[in-house]
Amino acid sequence: MYDLYLSIFNKLHIPVILAQISWPIIPFIGVAAVLVITVLFLVLLERRLLAVLTIRKGPNRVGPDGLFQTVADAIKLLFKEDIMSSETNKILFTLGPIIFFVPVMIIYGMVPYASGMLAINAATGLFLILAISSISTVGLVISGWASNNKYSLLGGMRAAAQAISYEVPLVLSAIGVTVLAGSMNISEIVNKQAGGWADSGILSWNFLSWNIWPAIIGFVVFFICSIAEINRVPFDLPEAESELVSGYNTEYSGMKFALFFLAEYASLFIISVLIATLFIGGYLSPFNDYI
């Protein structure tokens, strides 16, 4: 992709130095666009599904059939007042949501969505993803402590305790994938799942080489730990609104609260992509061809 980008600049007779400076910005813009669109879609999908389960209509007023409801919610949060108590640590109170959100955005650029469609291709990609994802826990603790609210502090400590508890088995289950692939590079892990047990016939289908078959126990452990990592039901104790007054983000409003909300749903998508990448062939077709 970088070579194509350079060739475009050469054809337009633009100095190459501008291409080298602007290249890192392109993946950032692409990752940001994918992240925002994904979150808007996931929030709407969950609200529709919950509405069906509770026999309600769900979002149906803003836009055609309520499709723009999450966009309207985002605009509303953008213009809401940013309230901070005089007793809060304002610097840490502001840094908390940022530390929680930024690692998720970085991971978006480290997962291959198609062949060659990878912003950050590192030899130890899986290790970096697991390491960077653990930084978000620091943001939760900082947010709870800086809020100067005992409920927020307890919520932050609960979130940290749960995240650390489930990160250990999550990492151990990922080790099996690296052993099967012989590499920590995400692209190589996907490519190792191509082909089958034979070179011809039905046994050459890709899905027969998926890591889920030899590492089925690791897949189950990774899946359960992933749900706990992103605080989804039934592992939503750190922010169970009915019990903990929303936990670590109780004192947040406006865009600071939106960053927590955005990071949570962005993590929901990226953990799904990561599970598919590690265990069920990633972007490869199950049958060697897209039919």
CB 262 within 8 Å of CB 230 = no
Residue 172 predicted with pLDDT over 70 = yes
Q: 124 phi and psi, to 5 degrees?
A: -110, 45
Segment 192-220, tens digit of pLDDT:
888 765 555 556 678 888 899 999 999 99
Between 10 and 252, the higher pLDDT residue: 252
Q: 22 phi and psi, to 5 degrees?
A: -85, -15
Segment 13-30, tens digit of pLDDT:
777 777 767 776 777 777
Could you tell me the maximum CA-CA distance found in the chain, to the nearest angstrom?
70
What does the alpha-carbon distance between residue 94 and residue 108 come to, in Å, rounded to a whole number? 23
pTM of the model: 0.83
Q: 81 phi and psi, to 5 degrees?
A: -70, 140
What does the alpha-carbon distance between residue 209 and residue 280 come to, in Å, rounded to a whole number? 9
Segment 67-81, tens digit of pLDDT:
898 889 888 888 888
